[in-house]
Amino acid sequence: MPYDPSSSEARWQKAWADADSFTAIRDERPKYYVLEMFPYPSGRIHMGHVRNYTMGDVVARFKRAQGFSVLHPMGWDAFGMPAENAAMEQGGHPRDWTYGNIATMREQLKPLGLSIDWSREFATCDDSYVAQQQALFLDFLDAGLITRKSAQVNWDPVDMTVLANEQVIDGKGWRSGAPVERKELTQWFFRISDYSEELLEALEGLTGWPDKVRLMQQNWIGKSRGLQFSFAATDASQGFDAIEVYTTRPDTLMGASFVALSPDHPIIRTLAAGRPEVADFCEECRRIGTTEEAIETAPKMGFDTGLTVRHPLDPEWQLPVWIANFVLMDYGTGAIFGSPAHDERDHEFATKYGLPIRATFGERGMDLAQADAMVAKAAYVPLKSEVVTYVRGFAGKTEQTGEAAVDAAIAHAEAEGYGKGVTKFRLRDWGISRQRYWGCPIPVVHCETCGTVPEAKENLPVLLPQDVSFDQPGNPLDRHPTWRQASCPKCGGKALRETDTMDTFVDSSWYYARFTSSRADTPTNRADADYWMNVDQYIGGIEHAILHLLYSRFFARAMVKTGHLPETAKEPFNALFTQGMVTHEIYMTRDTRGRPVYHLPEDVTDGKLADGTPVEVVPSAKMSKSKKNVVDPVNIVSSFGADTARWFMLSDSPPERDVEWTAAGAEAASKFLSRVYRLAEETRGGGEDPELTRAAHRAIADVTKSIEGFAFNKAVAKLYELANAVGKSGAGGEPRREVLRILAQLMAPMVPHLAEEVWSMAGGQGMVVDAGWPEPDPAMLEDDTVTLPIQINGKRRAEISVAKDMPKDQIEALVLADDTVQRFLDGATPKKLIVVPGRIVNVVA
């Protein structure tokens, strides 16, 4: 009987459900918590989901087989802008759109046969999750973890609404097309910057995380040591006494040629009030938008204020004060001094505006003239660890490293009293206020007499009103007729509700903790949290390497501080794996006006459309609806079965890299699974085949190691080898069935349905899901002889087969006697003979 995935997969899924196989329970087994980043309910599942959740499922089933009590939950990251956009574009309510999508996606996910404990499922927009998140907010507020301050947002002056960065395209609002302005609003912030040092230091302990992610976070937090000091105003009539600056290169102070302030600097604001041309310039700077990328890549723009300050080391030396569009108010003091010889941005700025460029140091041994000549065209920015010659130094030695010079400069400033060494972080507080409807309301009211007052816990949850419309831009909460009316929990007087909702990163910063007890009427249940935390293996996209993971690390600390998590859960994710995307070729034709028209892969055969029109093939890119290079997992599952989709997602490409979906690859996966089924179905007479048994034990060792190392593609390759070995072997009867059962066990985490079929055909007891993980017999893994390649001058020329434990001198004798070696040596004695036991021999002639 040929293998029929559709009936088989449904049957096994029901068997697992009936046996309650995947319900996580606290028992005497050691626990293992595996979590994949939960999905945003966009509408339908895509191949990226299949890949992500299959990887997590492999880990979950593997650990379960190894005897762990596994927690493997699923939920929905359900608040966010797309639901509001859908409501604006198609009408309807974000809630209905979201829950509709969740229902669809849940039904699409279930046929994949994932070992998920569905009883713990929740969506972040559920009233119960909102309620507990608001309770956390109030606890954090109490604990001093939250503050309110002013921040800038993108403002669309036509739609009269705040725009997200992705809604600003080339400096214009995506719907109105109006040039975006910056606007200041008072916002709620989580005080993550209080934890800068701790979040940085704790990275060292995250040994289960990829180094690249730790490095990215380290750079993001951005600890720096520098000098903070003031430039005094040349005369008091300028309207300020001094400008405070921060620099990480105080050693370049003698190369200073200007002072630059952020357009948002208080001194500039004051100045702008009286000088329209200053105000105009600042307005222009603000049109760049709020993203760091836009600000950094925009052409350098400056405005000479005419103000001047004195150099701290030479009162006679006057420096001009400029406004510069690349100086950020958020970092340091919002003011810098420009040292164009040793900073590329300053160099560009100085060149553009004709400001002097004076070298502070040059390459080792250079004199002042040489150093000045070198920096005339381009900034000289060697590594700080490199020794250079200071031609305009003022502290430390003439010949020293940048590092030493910075230390000497700080010491000099402190001794002379004009500045002090300061440690700063790039990490800023986390602004969570969003002027949008579809999010968790911030549980605060604004009272006419008491000011800003937290809502009382007994009044939670503060739920979103349902009667809202999206026919006009802006936050529907602002214009709701009654929802804002509240009474002050403090004085009972009239108050207005906060209409800002929380950043959706808040929702995803603690869902992992909520899964440990997803129905509790407090944010967590401590007994459950204590048992299940931490997440032993977290899996998700590299795009979350910084923000989501950093926020979660902060949130876990905040939950520890407020008693919702045990001290040991400060770092909530013991191990992290970041997987790559699923990509596909793009098929394109052009319309009569030459504009691209995209076509779905299922409409393209052999590079042609159904009507014979050839398509242009654009190299693989991330699957996206707009490019139509999407393959719907639902179609793959219905035509090939879930196991095929799962197997293909694990084959070939290493999990951390992107994988390209190809129809041929899917078919190959399907063919292989059918072959395994046929191998199991076939009964053969005959007996032992020691070689096959050895192959099986080698496969156990290799597959175990590969799964543990997240090298699923290598595990797949080993399983191909084992299946090939079964096909070629003359083994029969029980010895053959025993190998087939090992094959079933090893394949079970990846293709669980087929594994159950093979297990049962090969005479396995019960279900393979309960069968445990096989152990290799060490005796079967040993080889008596090894093949040693012989290199001559580093090139492989011959090989010899020797006993595994043959002593070096015997090997050397064999090598020298070898024909090829003799021929190459041509009677000469080798200069050197390198024998790496068990690996290689190199003859240096």
Partner RNA sequence: GCCCGAGUGGCGGAAUGGUAGACGCAGCGGAUUCAAAAUCCGCCGGAGCAAUCCAUGCCGGUUCGAGUCCGGCCUCGGGUACCA
Touching RNA, residues 706-745 (CB under 7 A): 711, 713-714, 716-717, 720-721, 724, 727-728
Nearest approach, Cβ of 497 to RNA (angstroms)? 17
**Residue from 791, 800, 814, 816 in contact with RNA (CB under 7 A):** 791
Nearest approach, Cβ of 602 to RNA (angstroms)? 18
**Residue from 145, 267, 355, 545 in contact with RNA (CB under 7 A):** 545
Q: State which of positions 370-429 bind RNA (CB under 7 A).
A: 426-428
Nearest approach, Cβ of 603 to RNA (angstroms)? 20
DSSP 178-230: PBPEEEEEEEEEE-GGGGHHHHHHGGGG-TBS-HHHHHHHHHHH--EEEEEEE
**Residue from 48, 56, 80, 250 in contact with RNA (CB under 7 A):** 80
**Residue from 110, 311, 526, 548 in contact with RNA (CB under 7 A):** 548
| Structural contact between residues 238 and 307, judged by C-beta atoms closer than 8 angstroms | yes
Q: Count interface residues toward RNA (CB under 7 A).
A: 99
Q: Looking at beta carbons only, is 392 or 434 nearer to RNA? A: 434
Residue 379: how many other CB atoms lie within 10 Å:
20
**Residue from 621, 780, 800, 825 in contact with RNA (CB under 7 A):** 621
**Residue from 568, 793, 810, 822 in contact with RNA (CB under 7 A):** 793
Distance separating alpha carbons of residues 422 and 417, to the nearest angstrom: 14
Q: Does residue 657 touch RNA according to CB under 7 A?
A: yes
**Residue from 345, 384, 484, 490 in contact with RNA (CB under 7 A):** 345
Q: Three-state SS across 750-767?
A: CCHHHHHHHHHHCCCCCC
- Token pair 């190691």 is found at 705
Of the listed pieces 88-96, 232-240, 690-698, 783-791, which binds RNA according to CB under 7 A?
783-791
Phi, psi of 494 (to 5 degrees): -70, 140
Q: State which of positions 284-313 bind RNA (CB under 7 A).
A: 290-293, 296-297
**Residue from 88, 216, 279, 825 in contact with RNA (CB under 7 A):** 216
Nearest approach, Cβ of 519 to RNA (angstroms)? 23
Q: Looking at beta carbons only, is 680 or 711 nearer to RNA? A: 711
* Closest C-alpha to 11, from 771, 767, 674: 767
**Residue from 664, 782, 826, 829 in contact with RNA (CB under 7 A):** 664
Q: Does residue 165 touch RNA according to CB under 7 A?
A: yes
What is the length of the chain?
Answer: 845
Distances (CA, A) of 219 to 212, 338, 573: 11, 23, 20
Q: Does residue 794 touch RNA according to CB under 7 A?
A: yes
* Closest C-alpha to 760, from 18, 2, 8: 8
Q: State which of positions 447-486 bind RNA (CB under 7 A).
A: none
| Structural contact between residues 505 and 511, judged by C-beta atoms closer than 8 angstroms | no
- Token pair 């996580």 is found at 24
* Closest C-alpha to 722, from 734, 710, 711, 731: 731
Q: Does residue 553 touch RNA according to CB under 7 A?
A: no
Q: Does residue 211 touch RNA according to CB under 7 A?
A: yes
Q: State which of positions 166-195 bind RNA (CB under 7 A).
A: 166-167, 185, 187
Amino acid identity, residue 638?
Answer: S
Amino acid identity, residue 387?
Answer: V
**Residue from 232, 547, 780, 800 in contact with RNA (CB under 7 A):** 547
Looking only at the bridges linking them, the beta strands covering 444-447 and 451-454 are: antiparallel
3-state secondary structure of 555: helix
Answer yes or no: is 625 a known binding residue. yes
Q: Looking at beta carbons only, is 142 or 292 nearer to RNA? A: 292
Q: How many CA atoms lie within 13 A of 359 on its CB side?
A: 24
- Token pair 């996910």 is found at 109
Q: Looking at beta carbons only, is 517 or 651 nearer to RNA? A: 651
Q: State which of positions 483-512 bind RNA (CB under 7 A).
A: 503-505
| Structural contact between residues 82 and 145, judged by C-beta atoms closer than 8 angstroms | no
Q: Does residue 223 touch RNA according to CB under 7 A?
A: no
Q: State which of positions 227-286 bind RNA (CB under 7 A).
A: none
Helix (H) or strand (E) holding 416: helix 402-416
Question: Which residues are annotated binding-site positions for ATP?
Answer: 625
Q: Which residues are annotated as a binding site?
A: 625
